[in-house]
Structure 1
């Protein structure tokens, strides 16, 4: 029987010390900010407002102001509970901004 030898060289034969690379002097890439879904900042804010039953004012894109407390939220909408008026399910895409009710006078706003 004939001994057959492999044509591939062994690992120690291939591994040669490589020359050190010169340092890279190009622009340093900036770190991309994390997407909002990953930071959980929005979740923290809504949970805090729900637990403390903070009166909120929701300003819609058309300028309408809705007042009430946030009962629950999800990725696309919030449920605003109002006293003496029907509760509302508001899509987040139509919300211009949200603030705590009573803060507009403290900030000098005229709403």
Structure 2
């Protein structure tokens, strides 16, 4: 009887016991709320050119800094000096502007419409 018990114990030791192992299953069928939002965000984002990873999008072509400066000077009716490409100085304040030109109001002469490419630089009259 002693021999029969030893043979069964040896038989059990050779066979692996899989009954106590825990099965790990990914939860693919039930995504949580945050994960589904991330996936939705990824689908909505536009791809860059060739889809190259790490490529930055170029900065905006227009920063609106020029427009902000003109608006500020127009509202304050700041006396300005406009130096043209040929060196001529025009004194006046900005009445309005658009993409290509500025309208200058002058107290000692006629109002002028100046094309932006013809302006070398602009400064406030008080900053001389």
> TM (normalized to structure 1)?
0.62
Give the match for residue 32 of structure 1.
58
Higher RCO (C-alpha 8 Å, min separation 6)? 1
Pick aligned residue for 1:77 from 101, 109, 112? 101
Q: Matches of 1:59 and 1:100 in 2, distance apart? A: 11
Q: Distance in 2 between matches of 1:30 and 1:62?
A: 41
- Kindly name which structure, 1 or 2, has the bigger radius of gyration based on alpha carbons: 2
Structure 1 or 2: more strand by fraction: 1
Q: Which has the higher helix share?
A: 2
Where does the alignment leave 5 or more consecutive residues of structure 2 unmatched? 1-53
| TM superposition shift of 1:43 | 1.1
User: Alpha carbon RMSD of aligned pairs, Å?
Assistant: 1.5
Matched residues, number: 75
TM-score, scaled relative to structure 2: 0.54
